[in-house]
Amino acid sequence: MNRPQVVIIGGGFAGLACARGLAKTKADVKLLDRRNFHLFQPLLYQVATGALSPANIAAPLRSIFRRQKNCQVLLAEVADFNTVDRKVELIDGRSVPYDYLVIAPGSTHHYFGQDEKWEPLAPGLKTIEDATEIRRKILSAFEAAELLQPSPARTALLTFIVIGGGPTGVEMAGAICELAKHTLKNDFREIDPRQARVILIENSPGILNNFHDSLSTIAKKSLVNMGAEVWNNTRLTEIHEDHVIVTQDNQSMRIDSHTVVWAAGVKASPLGKKIVDRLGAPASLDRAGRVVVDKACAIPGHQEIFVLGDAASFTTEDGKVLPGVAPVAMQQGRYVGELIAGTLKGEAISKSFSYLDKGNMATIGRSHAVVESGKIRLSGGIAWLAWLFIHILYLARFENRVLVLMQWFWNYLTRNRAARLITNVESQVK
């Protein structure tokens, strides 16, 4: 009589795929999220640099599940788990019972133990608010510079620092270059935005280290051609309101800048630790704070509790831990959806999850990208088209797909970034 209750925490790539996989089952699916939308995080940097609006890359969860009547979206924040009575406890005191629990809360920024000091000074790129805050900081720096005479203070305002040479850092650095060198080039009267410095700080000797060496070299060259400075073997040691301190070859250096973007590290959601604390051994976290899961993406000893995406530590056959990227999350979500659907139909599914790695891609700027898939390696315009195609394919699942495509195409043609609004400025509102 009672329908099986599946509770999914998080409406990201993993949670979405899992909930969809349960569409034709007799389960009641409850999708819990703190936000009322699914966010296409890989394009957040386009919002941060004024090329797209938040609504272009976010779709209301309720729209997505409008027709899936067995799925209820709940705007809620999880406080804790009661694994004895099988309930998820919410911060407002209510609780949601589960038969199957899918935990896919994602990750947040990791400031290497300096969270409280660094986070307000160097916002990262995880939420819509992060993106509009970075947009505000970047655009406000140009505005403030326009009001000054040539001076070290003005140079500092026109210096932009991106911490971390992974895909997000490279995309951000490339996009800020485009903004400064092209979009804004005729917009000011006192300053020449093309003289802005964009500095990418990376600890290691290369950038995009998960790519083949040849591609990371090309990426670095492209970024430099676009006008960015790539500082490798450089360690960030301090961040302040108006400068950062970095170390190269044991030498400390100061860079004056008001705009620092964080793209250096993420940590798993604290919900992982909560569920492990409640369950006790054999449930455990890995060193990065992710929940160790078995071949079925479940917590060992608890075949009814799954952890997916960035919050999970899944070790493949050949001993590698899967990275926190969208394709892993989507494939895990789809797998667990099928697994639960099968179980509900009474089919025992013994197939383990296996990740099909379709490759890596990163954009560097307008019509520059690097793509690798198996033995195929692409760069330049053709790679950019491949990148665009794949992203549009995914976005095609959003309702506003046509518009995002139009907006991109328009921006591409005109190098325009029409969404460069400075919003949520306390002192300037009203």
Task: Please compute Rg for the chain using Cα positions.
Answer: 23
403 binds its own copies (CB under 8 A): yes
Distance CA 151, CA 137 (A): 20
Q: Can you read off the two tokens belonging to residue 63?
A: 């729209």
**Dihedrals φ, ψ of 387, to 5°?**
-60, -45
Per CB under 8 A, does 146 bind its own copies? yes
Q: If binding is defined by CB under 8 A, does position 430 make contact with its own copies?
A: yes
Residue 419 in contact with its own copies, rule: CB under 8 A: yes
Contact stretch for its own copies (CB under 8 A) within 19-27, 120-128, 156-164, 332-340: 120-128
Contact call for residue 414 and its own copies (CB under 8 A)? yes
Enumerate residues 6+ apart whose C-beta is below 8 A from 162. Answer: 169, 172, 173, 176, 198, 199, 200, 201, 260, 261, 263
Phi and psi at 220, nearest 5°, equal -65, -45
Site size toward its own copies, by CB under 8 A = 62
Among 77, 119, 129, 171, the active-site one is 171
Alpha carbons 60 and 55: distance in angstroms, whole number? 9
**Least distance to its own copies, CB of residue 139, Å:** 6
Active site residue 171: yes
Contacts to its own copies from residues 19-38, by CB under 8 A: 34-37
d(CA 264, CA 248): 17
* 188 touches its own copies by CB under 8 A: yes
The two most distant CA atoms of the chain are separated, in Å, by: 76
Give me the residue label for tokens 């309930």.
Answer: 87
8 Å CB contact between 40 and 395:
yes
Closest to its own copies by CB, 192 vs 213, is 192
Instruction: Name which of 52 and 276 has its Cβ closer to its own copies.
Output: 52
242 binds its own copies per the rule CB under 8 A: no
383-387 contact pairs (CB < 8 A, 24+): 386/361, 387/361, 387/362, 387/363
Of 209 and 423, which has the nearer Cβ to its own copies? 423
Tokens of 369: 């990208």
Least distance (Å) from its own copies to the CB of residue 295?
A: 32
In the window 48-107, what residues touch its own copies (CB under 8 A)? Answer: 53-56, 58-60, 62-63, 66-67, 69, 72-77, 92, 94
Give the nearer residue to its own copies in terms of CB position, either 36 or 373: 36
Q: Which residues are catalytic?
A: 171
Give me the residues that bind its own copies (CB under 8 A), please: 34-37, 53-56, 58-60, 62-63, 66-67, 69, 72-77, 92, 94, 108, 126-129, 132, 139-140, 143-144, 146-147, 184, 186-190, 399-400, 402-403, 406-407, 410, 414, 416, 418-424, 427-430
